[in-house]
Chain A
Amino acid sequence: MAVELKQVSVAYGEQGALRRVSLRVERGEFVFVVGATGAGKSTLFKLLYGELRPTEGEVWVLGAPVHALKPRELPFLRRQMGIVPQDYPLLPRKTVWENIAYGLRAIGYNESAVRQRVAQVLALVGLNEQARQLPSQLSGGEAQRAAIARAIANNPPLLIADEPTANLDPDTSWEIIELLMRINLRGATVIVSTHNRTIVDRACQRVVAMDRGQILSDVPRGGYPIELDRLYASVLL
């Protein structure tokens, strides 16, 4: 099991950001989490990498009880997760190469291992030519690929990407999703949040739909039930 949420709630003050959410994701799965802004997608992701604690319920990731981990234990779980957050994607004063290397060096990789891994992930995400460019010199799609490269540099078994296609045109969005599916085919579990209907339709992967802190539907890979159509009408763009 890659991820399991058991009756998880998160409350901000009196408002509930998540209400009794249960979810299981097997190892090797590709899962879209869809929903409008404020549906609870980011809250769900923050729970997975321990940036938020559930008010009640249990969060298990790669066999570890995230809800009960001590702060000093959390980093070691995060090293098994690639995280592409919605905010702070890249460090603006560092080149693409340095951005990817930075994450590896921060967790103790030596220089030769850093050089080797950075070269590998740059090739995987197709950014060899942009390696020496600053984030300000990249297009939106290239910047997002660089952020994904940094997240997978450590070769993690689980990749979590929060809105990686936000503000990207349809073609570039699809390139990003294709990249994520390639990473999934190499064995990593991938969980992606989005509110882009086109790429969800096209990818034909499992879709978990959220609204107002609850899971409305959980459609398996290849399925396309009526509920998803209704959901699109109400919560997706």
Chain B
Amino acid sequence: MIDRVRFVLQETWESLLRNATMQAAAISTACIALILLGGAGMALYKLDAAAQALPSHFEAEVFLKMSATREQALQLQAALQARPEIASVRLTPREVAWEEQKQKLAADVNLADIPNPLPDKLTVRVRDPQQLPAVAERIQQSPLVDEVIDSRAELQTVLSLSRLVRWVGLGAGGLLLLASLILIYNTVRLTIFSRQREVRVMALVGATLRSIRLPFVLEGMTQGLVGGALAATLTLLAAAFLSDYMTSQWAFLRDLPPGMPPSAVLIGLPALGALMGGLCAWWATLRYVRI
């Protein structure tokens, strides 16, 4: 059995050494296709996680009318706090908000003489993020409330972005994957032609079709595997770099949930590459290896 495995592996190795340029082309195309697919997959995973997590990060901000008194604001806060679906209600008095605003803009403008334009604000956090839209809707109906801002708009943005990444990433990745499959098929086909003598000798001495085809299938699998491994490494490096850069630019991104685990990329892309490469090579041997 060990001798058999060694023979098949030797044959595979010799196949790989023939047509080095074609092998490099097949591996690099598979690599690029899998980088696109892997990158799209990772981005989608992150966006999906972000979409799931957004409602808990974004509470509803309730801006009261300027005519509402502090007493009315406290009454509304108490009334909302009493509701079972609401976890907490925090009142930010207009004078506190204005002070904060003035300090924040002190370097640019002098707001000392301007009358406070800000209303009182209640920050409402719900127990179940799914209930946020309904709660926001209900609060909006109160005569004391001027405006309610919740995270629905942000959620929509993330979902649109997710759709864009899905179509562009999967579309381009899919097309390149198809190209790499054709290239692997063609490389294996050329190897079969270049090893026609070996194929014929094996056929004449009575080697089974399966054992003649196996080294070529392993060759295709190796091309996919190497392409996938390169793609996984490059994708993870690019993701780490991009992640560092983006979080340094936009601090709020630090609050997003973690992305796809690196082990999934390190295993998934080479496995996908090997599977696709093996299938392509098998297809080529079905057509070109006969006894």
Question: Would A75 and B208 be within 8 Å (CB), given that A105-B7, A106-B7 are in contact?
Answer: yes
Of B201, B203, B207, which is in contact with the most chain A CB atoms at under 10 Å from its CB? B201
Are A85 and B206 interface neighbours, CB within 8 A? no
- Chain B, 154-198, contact with A by CB distance < 8 Å: what is the 0/1 string? 000000000000000000000000000000000000000000111
Chain A residues near B197: list those with CB within 8 A.
88, 91-92
Chain B residues near A51: list those with CB within 8 A.
291
| A74 to chain B: closest residue by CB | B291
A102 at the interface (CB under 8 A from B): yes
| B202 to chain A: closest residue by CB | A106
Min Cβ gap B103→A in Å is: 82
In whole angstroms, how far apart are the Cα atoms of A111 and B208 in the complex?
A: 19
Chain A residues near B94: list those with CB within 8 A.
none
In whole angstroms, how far apart are the Cα atoms of A109 and B7 in the complex?
A: 10
Are A75 and B209 interface neighbours, CB within 8 A? yes
Are A75 and B206 interface neighbours, CB within 8 A? yes
**Majority secondary structure of chain B interface residues (helix, strand, loop or mixed):** helix
Are A91 and B201 interface neighbours, CB within 8 A? yes
Chain B residues near A65: list those with CB within 8 A.
none
Min Cβ gap B106→A in Å is: 82
Are B209 and A106 interface neighbours, CB within 8 A? no
A44 at the interface (CB under 8 A from B): no
In whole angstroms, how far apart are the Cα atoms of A184 and B262 in the complex?
A: 66
Are B206 and A79 interface neighbours, CB within 8 A? yes
Min Cβ gap B8→A in Å is: 10
Q: From the candidates A87, A106, A110, name the one contacting B205 in the complex (CB within 8 A).
A: A106
Chain B residues near A91: list those with CB within 8 A.
197-198, 201
A202 at the interface (CB under 8 A from B): no
| A87 to chain B: closest residue by CB | B200
Are A103 and B205 interface neighbours, CB within 8 A? yes
Q: Count the A residues whose beta carbon is within 8 Å of the partner chain — how many?
A: 33
B79 at the interface (CB under 8 A from A): no
A32 at the interface (CB under 8 A from B): no
In whole angstroms, how far apart are the Cα atoms of A102 and B3 in the complex?
A: 12
- Chain A, 79-106, contact with B by CB distance < 8 Å: what is the 0/1 string? 1110101011001100000000011111
Are B200 and A88 interface neighbours, CB within 8 A? yes
Question: Would A154 and B205 be within 8 Å (CB), given that A91-B197, A105-B7, A111-B3 are in contact?
Answer: yes
A76 at the interface (CB under 8 A from B): yes
A225 at the interface (CB under 8 A from B): no
Are B207 and A107 interface neighbours, CB within 8 A? yes
B204 at the interface (CB under 8 A from A): yes
Min Cβ gap B6→A in Å is: 8
In whole angstroms, how far apart are the Cα atoms of A169 and B291 in the complex?
A: 33
In whole angstroms, how far apart are the Cα atoms of A109 and B2 in the complex?
A: 11
In whole angstroms, how far apart are the Cα atoms of A227 and B158 in the complex?
A: 93
Q: From the candidates B206, B207, B209, name the one contacting A71 in the complex (CB within 8 A).
A: B209
Q: What's the interface size class on B, roughly? A: 20 to 34
B4 at the interface (CB under 8 A from A): yes
A67 at the interface (CB under 8 A from B): no
Chain A residues near B201: list those with CB within 8 A.
88, 91, 102-103, 106, 150
Are A79 and B209 interface neighbours, CB within 8 A? no
Are B208 and A72 interface neighbours, CB within 8 A? yes
Q: From the candidates B202, B204, B209, B211, name the one contacting A49 in the complex (CB within 8 A).
A: B204
Are A72 and B205 interface neighbours, CB within 8 A? no
| A91 to chain B: closest residue by CB | B197
Are B204 and A78 interface neighbours, CB within 8 A? yes
In whole angstroms, how far apart are the Cα atoms of A76 and B198 in the complex?
A: 18
A13 at the interface (CB under 8 A from B): no
Chain A residues near B205: list those with CB within 8 A.
78-79, 83, 103-104, 106-107, 150-151, 154
- Chain A, 102-133, contact with B by CB distance < 8 Å: what is the 0/1 string? 11111111110010000000000000000000
| A108 to chain B: closest residue by CB | B4
Question: Would A78 and B206 be within 8 Å (CB), given that A88-B197, A88-B201 are in contact?
Answer: yes
In whole angstroms, how far apart are the Cα atoms of A91 and B4 in the complex?
A: 20
In whole angstroms, how far apart are the Cα atoms of A74 and B203 in the complex?
A: 9
Min Cβ gap B73→A in Å is: 85
Are B200 and A75 interface neighbours, CB within 8 A? no
Chain A residues near B211: list those with CB within 8 A.
106, 108
In whole angstroms, how far apart are the Cα atoms of A51 and B212 in the complex?
A: 16
Chain B residues near A88: list those with CB within 8 A.
196-197, 200-201
In whole angstroms, how far apart are the Cα atoms of A229 and B229 in the complex?
A: 71
Are A107 and B291 interface neighbours, CB within 8 A? no
| A92 to chain B: closest residue by CB | B197
Known: A75-B208, A75-B291. 5 other contacts (CB 8 A): A75-B209, A76-B206, A85-B204, A88-B196, A114-B3
Residue contacts A-B, CB under 8 angstroms, 6 given: A71-B209, A74-B291, A75-B209, A88-B201, A102-B198, A103-B205
8 pairs of A and B residues whose beta carbons are closest in the complex: A79-B206, A78-B206, A103-B205, A106-B207, A75-B206, A106-B202, A110-B3, A83-B204
